[in-house]
């Protein structure tokens, strides 16, 4: 039986561990805080990049595979744990978007069911929407996942495996090596040895690897969000305008997001973001003016150049593997990324071409991180 240590307990770490456990491996997962409480918990959960036509083909390939797999994953987790991740095919409206011709060409090329719709369709679909929108791009089959529930389901599923060990509040402080080979991970309390180590530490990955002498251009990018509460069914679809969105949950909660801030590891919320997000919320859905947000929070995205993640072995450190750098699309890309990682680790025929994501041959020099909205 193969032994693996996974460092990082977000959606990448959890789904990587689940893929390996289902293949009959033994997995130890180390999480510096509580499982699933960083970016994976904080995100909105739209199962699509915000503007998919702006991204490179490697991101599209992962997103397309994951979009098809999410309903299967959600159904399996519900049956296995009793926890519903609420993958809802609610559709998405891109309102009055200037890139509609580019988007429609992209959709036609890639077999996506995107159409341009009139204002009559818009206001029939979302009657609460502010007046004045003329047209929209509409994709009816796009879903959103209730990410905190997804992480709870993944935790419950992982703990069903006798071959799984979870250590929370256990920061990985360094690699264990036998010569050039990585053979495990050290924490302040113990050492954990394995056949391979998977680093899925999200926004912390760049700094974590730097202490091991590897330079990877992954940096924290803060995003703040608001939460409102209306009655169930009040908002039927995701609406998106000029980078800001409203996402409906099954129980009537409405998520408004998000900011994009380069502020290091600062996860504090701000009155400036509150004001900006409230303005966006009320500009989209005027009836929210009569409500106070029920929550405001921040999370740290793993920013990377062009948002193309690093998935595969680190050739400079044999035995060390990466699944990191997904920027704004971690939840979107997670099922495909983790399946690809497991295929490579277990030397199975990959379902996706691994070449664009392999760390080898890609720039590991420090770089400005921009990505796409």
Q: How far apart are CA 277 and CA 105, in angstroms?
A: 31
> Domain check: are 110 and 206 in the same one?
no
pLDDT (average), residues 44-60: 96
**What is the per-residue pLDDT for 361?**
75
Q: Is residue 81 part of a domain?
A: no
* In the predicted structure, residue 222 carries a pLDDT above the cut 90: yes
Strands 135-139, 92-95: parallel, antiparallel or unpaired by DSSP? antiparallel
8 A C-beta contact, residue 46 and residue 146: no
Alpha carbon distance 237, 248 (integer Å): 7
Chain mean pLDDT for the chain:
95
Please compute the mean of the pLDDT values over residues 213-222 and round it to a whole number. 95
Are the C-beta atoms of residues 145 and 90 closer than 8 Å to each other?
no
Instruction: Give the domain CATH number at 116.
Output: 3.30.9.10
Has residue 298 been placed in a domain? yes
Contacts of 306 (CB under 8 A, 6+ apart): 55, 56, 59, 370, 371, 372
Q: Are residues 152 and 68 in the same domain?
A: yes
Q: Which residues of 260-298 are buried (b: 16+ CB within 10 A; e: fewer)?
A: ebeeeeebebbeebeeebbebbbebbeebeeeebeebeb
Whether cis (ω within 30° of 0) applies to the bond prior to 258 is yes
pLDDT at 372 over 50: no
Q: Indicate if the pLDDT at residue 208 is higher than 60.
A: yes
Does 80 map to a domain?
no
354 in the Ramachandran plot: left (φ > 0), alpha (ψ -120 to 50) or beta? alpha
If asked whether residues 246 and 295 sit together in one domain, one would say yes
Residue 4 · residue 193 · CB < 8 Å: no
Per-residue burial over 137-164, b = 16 or more CB atoms within 10 Å of its CB, e = otherwise? bbbeebbbbbbbbbbbbbbebbeebeeb
Give the model confidence (pLDDT) of 245-257 as tens digits.
999 999 999 999 9
Q: Which of 239, 267, 302 is the last residue of a domain?
A: 302
Q: Which domain holds residue 12?
A: 3-72+148-216+305-357
Residue located via tokens 């129980």: 251
pLDDT (mean) for 271-288:
98
Residues 9 and 137 in one domain: no
Q: For residue 370, tell me if it sits in a domain.
A: no
Last residue of a domain, one of 302, 326, 345: 302
Same-domain check for residues 187 and 163: yes
**pLDDT more than 70, % of the chain:** 97
| pLDDT in the model for residue 79 | 98
Same-domain status, 67 and 152: yes
pLDDT of residue 203: 98
Specify whether 155 is located in the same domain as 295: no
- pLDDT tens figures, 54-97: 999 999 999 999 999 999 999 999 999 999 999 999 999 999 99
363 pLDDT band, cuts 50/70/90, is low
196 in any annotated domain: yes
Q: How much of the chain exceeds pLDDT 90, in percent?
A: 95
Q: Are both 238 and 298 inside the same structural domain?
A: yes
Mean pLDDT of 164-172: 98
- Claim to verify: residue 225 and residue 137 sit in the same structural domain: yes
Whether 335 maps to a domain, the answer reads yes
Confirm whether 82 is domain-assigned: no
Whether residues 65 and 158 share a domain: the answer is yes
Q: Report the CATH number that the domain containing residue 58 is assigned in CATH.
A: 3.50.50.60
Whether residue 35 has pLDDT greater than 90: yes
Residues 194 and 208 in one domain: yes
Task: Identify the DSSP state of 169.
Answer: S
What digits encode the pLDDT tens for the residues 176-202? 999 999 999 999 999 999 999 999 999
Q: How confident is the model at residue 362 (pLDDT cuts 50, 70, 90)?
A: confident
User: To which residue do tokens 């971690």 refer?
Assistant: 330
Distances (CA, A) of 105 to 52, 102, 108, 115: 12, 5, 5, 10
The total number of structural domains in the chain stands at 2
The answer to whether residue 362 is domain-embedded is: no
Q: Do 117 and 173 sit in the same domain of this protein?
A: no
CB 190 within 8 A of CB 169: no
Answer with the one of 275, 302, 329 that is the final residue of a domain.
302
Round to whole Å and give the CA distance between 213 and 144: 38
Cα dihedral: 18, 19, 23, 28 (round 10): -50
């Amino acid at each position: 039986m193969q032994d693996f240590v996974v460092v990082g307990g977000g959606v990448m770490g959890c789904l990587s561990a689940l893929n390996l456990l289902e293949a009959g491996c033994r997995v130890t997962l180390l999480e510096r805080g509580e499982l699933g409480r960083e970016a994976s918990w904080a995100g909105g959960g739209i199962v699509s990049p915000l503007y998919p036509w702006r991204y490179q083909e490697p991101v599209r390939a992962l997103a397309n595979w994951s979009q098809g797999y999410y309903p299967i994953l959600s159904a399996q987790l519900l049956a296995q744990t009793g926890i519903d991740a609420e993958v809802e095919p609610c559709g998405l409206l891109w309102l009055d978007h200037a890139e509609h011709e580019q988007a429609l060409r992209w959709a036609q090329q890639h077999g996506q069911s995107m159409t341009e719709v009139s204002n009559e369709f818009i206001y029939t679909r979302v009657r609460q929407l502010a007046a004045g929108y003329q047209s929209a791009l509409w994709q009816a089959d796009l879903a959103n996942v209730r990410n905190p529930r997804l992480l709870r389901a993944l935790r419950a599923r992982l703990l069903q495996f006798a071959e799984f060990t979870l250590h929370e509040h256990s920061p990985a402080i360094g690699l264990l090596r036998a010569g050039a080979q990585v053979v495990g991970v050290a924490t302040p309390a113990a050492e954990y040895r394995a056949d391979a180590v998977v680093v899925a530490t999200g926004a912390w990955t760049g700094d974590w690897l730097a202490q091991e002498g590897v330079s990877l251009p992954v940096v924290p990018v803060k995003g703040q969000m608001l939460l409102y509460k209306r009655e169930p069914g009040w908002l039927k679809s995701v609406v998106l305008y000029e980078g800001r969105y409203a996402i409906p949950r099954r129980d009537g909660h409405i998520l408004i997001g998000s900011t994009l801030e380069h502020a290091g590891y600062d996860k504090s919320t701000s009155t400036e973001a509150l004001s900006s997000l409230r303005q966006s919320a009320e500009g989209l859905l005027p009836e929210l003016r009569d409500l106070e947000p029920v929550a405001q929070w921040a999370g740290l995205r793993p920013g990377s150049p062009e948002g193309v993640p690093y998935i595969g072995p680190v050739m400079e450190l044999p035995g060390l593997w990466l699944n990191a750098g997904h920027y704004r699309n971690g939840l979107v890309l997670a099922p495909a990324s983790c399946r690809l990682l497991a295929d490579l680790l277990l030397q199975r025929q990959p379902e996706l071409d691994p070449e664009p994501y392999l760390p080898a041959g890609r720039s590991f020099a420090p770089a400005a991180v921009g990505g796409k909205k």
